[in-house]
Structure 1
Amino acid sequence: MHDVEPPVAGAGQVVVDVERAGVCGTDVELFTGEMSYLRTGRSWYPLRPGHEWCGIVTRVGAGVERRWLGRRVTGDTMLGCGDCARCLAGRHHVCADLAEIGISRGFAGALAERLAVPVAALRPLPAELDPALGALVEPGGNAVRAVEAAGLGRGGRLLILGTGTIGLLAALFARARGVETHLMGRDREGLRLAATLGFAGVWTRPELPPLAWDAVVDASNAPELPALAADLVEPAGRVVYIGLAGMPSTLDTRDLLLKDVTAVGILGGSAGLAAAAAAYTDGSVDARPLVATTVGLAETPGILAGHRPPAAGPGPKIHIDPRR
């Protein structure tokens, strides 16, 4: 932990007083040095992580309307150049010159008391929204995109592989849309929280029933599960890949082709942020049970190093409150 000079709102930027920040697996990999971006040169030290956050705008820079002052906001992690063909087509999250808040190209993140953010990245939140939900908008946006990519309507049957933050969020959003939602986890302990949330089925691999899975979302980090997802899905169904393994996965494309399966990869939550915030606001999705505990900044290094506070609940997410 270091004391640094407070951020300044440059032209087109605001300064946000961070209310809550979530710790993500990406933050942990940046902390431990395992993140692949550190090897490719996309990220470098010193780096301040933190890309799941909400807070209050307290400063505005040149060219920014003062109406932002005092607003509760979150922000898009993905910062495209704004001028290339991908950005102009609404695909800024795959911009060749992409910077990511708290992840890449030296852009400081939200594990701090204050954060400077381009105003174009801001997403307004209701003043009454629980900050815990505000800090879950970014992972929620990823989960919403995964659910939408599955392409199921009311009554469709979805299997989600993995019971981490994204898997559970995807399950919550899918159920809110009327989808029959099942989850598969490694063991009963990993399924403990999912079981209390009342999904149609929570299974380990040996227990998984031979149902017709209209779509499968792989939200795990297990290298063998992408192939399992393709094996389990119904012919002409969809598999959605949003989890990342620490080593290459093996997927036989014949399993996709011969079953006429559509496979979709999801990178980033940009296009799902508004829908996630709306679901939290209208109460159709309450993701707060996923937050195991909230600690102060002083405890952040231990959390990033893998320490789990003894009083933490069963949820996969730990939040940081910089004011504690």
Structure 2
Amino acid sequence: MRALVFTGPGRAEVLAVPEPVAAAGQVIVEVERVGVCGTDVELFTGEMSYLHTGAASYPLRPGHEWSGTVLTTGPGVDPGWVGRRVTGDTMIGCGTCVRCRAGRHHVCPARHELGCRDGLPGALAERLAFPAAYLHALPDPVDATLGALVEPGGNALRAVRAANVAPGERLLILGTGTIGLLAARFARALGAEVHLLGLGDEPLAGAPVWTRATLPGLAWHGVVDATNAATTPGLAVELVEPGRTVVYIGLAGTPSLVDTREIVLKDVTTVGILGASAGLAGAITAYADRSADPRPLVAATVSLEEIVDVLAGKRPEGAGPGPKFHADPRR
């Protein structure tokens, strides 16, 4: 079958690779849609920290935001999965450690991360072997595009929930990339007054977008940092109301500085978000009932070959204004 393979920093090819075979506990999925995100770009460029810690290595098969249909099941898997439309959790725990048994498989020290860490080849391929225990069935209203947006949606929903902003209160989201715009949609669905801090007008925000120079001096009852800037974590603490919460979901390329004295003196709660696991079901529900519709965020859907140019920073001709790109491996 065809699959996208990162063969080294800045090098990617669509190669013929062996067909996956369902091991015990696994299914084989025909992949219909795969999103690419900043993690995939960093794996492509060689900047991703996993490549430097040994958690990931080349050659690497990426892709962790996906949807598809189950083709076959391996030993020990309910055959009722066959024919069902699904997506899956990126974080695959060992299942036996203290963290996994406590429901925190996303921080299992021995975890696999589909398409990100060594151990499970990713979804930017025609077919995918995936553990059935980590599947999520997709209802009919959640099409292939929405299905591939469940993983980033789960991350964004977790961030919004962690901000602990009540209906009618004001949430400030730093960043207007995919996670920031998804968080804005979920926060509005939950009744929050949403504002974003970015570089200027964002046609897909559906909420006021301010720059640092124009940001009004309002009370921010929660702040979500969804940027990759080293300066915004400290800014988030500066802006949030005393006694409220700052949520960090973005990762800066270099270490950021946060004045813990200000955190203490303002009695601020800070929360880090890693992974979508606890938000996947909620994202599927929100997409199914249309309380949040992220489809406009997808600028274009392209082939596996064309996604190589996207990873290199080139926008396909005719792409829309959204920040997200999808691949259809069947093309």
Q: TM-score, normalised by structure 2?
A: 0.95
Decide whether the 8 Å contact of 1:71 with 1:127 is kept in 2: no
Q: Deviations over 1:221-241 (max 9, x none)?
A: 110000000000001011000
Alignment gaps of 5+ in structure 2: 1-13
Match of 1:72 among 81, 85, 95: 85
Q: CA deviation at 1:291?
A: 0.3
Which residue in 2 is equivalent to 1:217? Answer: 224
The residue number in structure 2 matching 1:249 is 256
Amino acid at match of 1:24: C
Contact 1:215 1:233 in 2 (8 A): yes
Letter in 1 for 2:33: R
Whether 2:53 is the aligned partner of 1:53: answer no
TM-score, normalised via structure 1 length: 0.97
In structure 2, the residue matched to 1:36 is 49
Structure 1 residue 297: deviation in Å?
Answer: 1.2
Residue 107 (structure 2) pairs with residue 94 (structure 1): yes
Matched, 1:25 2:32: no
Residues 1:308 and 2:301 are matched in the alignment: no
Structure 2 SS opposite 1:2: strand
RMSD of aligned Cα (Å): 0.8
Percent identity of paired positions between Structure 1 and Structure 2? 66
Aligned counterparts of 2:181 and 2:259: Cα–Cα separation in 1: 27
Matches within 5 A, 1:220-299: 220-299=227-306
Preserved contact between residue 142 and residue 284 of structure 2 (Cα < 8 Å): no
Aligned length: 318
Cα distance, 1:303 vs. partner? Answer: 1.4
1:155 to 2:168 alignment: yes
CA contact (8 A) 1:223 1:247 kept: yes
1:316 corresponds to which letter in structure 2? P
Query: Are 2:156 and 1:143 aligned?
Result: yes
SS state at 2:288 partner:
helix
Q: Contact 2:163/2:245 (CA < 8 Å) preserved in 1?
A: yes
Task: Give secondary structure in 1 for the equivalent of 2:301.
Answer: strand
Which stretches of structure 1, 4 residues or more, deviate above 4 A after TM superposition?
A: none
- Looking at structure 1, the residues matched to 119 and 51 of structure 2 have their Cα atoms a distance apart, in angstroms, of 11
